[in-house]
Amino acid sequence: GESVGLHLPTLSVQEGDNSIINCAYSNSASDYFIWYKQESGKGPQFIIDIRSNMDKRQGQRVTVLLNKTVKHLSLQIAATQPGDSAVYFCAENRANQGGKLIFGQGTELSVKP
């Protein structure tokens, strides 16, 4: 079937540690992926994106890795801070479906001080 899913619904890390959030996708036609962060009471906020012609992209404290062979995406957050506590969604842009953005179920990241 067609789906974007997350392996873990919740993740708890210690402040200062690195966080890794995983995501699986099933549509090989997908060519653009986005990670969003959603804080309580707010809309999803763009964090970082990656296109299918890349396997790694880095931002400020965040890195996205794309493994097209196994259709797997991950978000790495370095030196996790309390402000990183939120729900993180991966989203898949399906070029063969008019550019629809399909969201995963979300992973809740909790940072312990």
Q: Does 100 bind another protein (CB under 8 A)?
A: yes
Judge residue 101's burial from the number of C-beta atoms within 10 Å of its C-beta, 0-12 exposed, 13-18 middle, 19 or more buried. Answer: middle
- In the stretch 27-66, what mask flags binding to another protein with x, by CB under 8 A? ----xx-x-x-----xxxxx--x-x---------------
Within 8 A by CB and 6+ apart from 24, the residues are 4, 5, 6, 7, 71, 72, 73
Which one among 93, 107, 109, 111 touches another protein, defined by CB under 8 A?
93
By beta-carbon proximity to another protein, the closer residue of 3 and 18 is: 3
| Percent helix / strand / coil, the chain, rounded to 5 | 5, 60, 35
Tell me the torsion sign for CA atoms 50, 51, 56, 59: negative
Report the sign of the C-alpha dihedral through residues 100, 56, 26, 95, in that order.
positive
Does 89 participate in binding another protein (rule CB under 8 A)?
A: yes
SS3 state at 83: helix
Segment contacting another protein (CB under 8 A): 16-24, 66-74, 75-83, 98-106? 98-106
Instruction: Check residue 7 for interaction with another protein (CB under 8 A).
Output: no
> Interacting stretch for another protein, rule CB under 8 A, among 15-23, 54-62, 63-71, 97-105?
97-105
Residues lying near another protein in the complex (CB under 8 A)? 31-32, 34, 36, 42-46, 49, 51, 89, 93, 95, 98-106
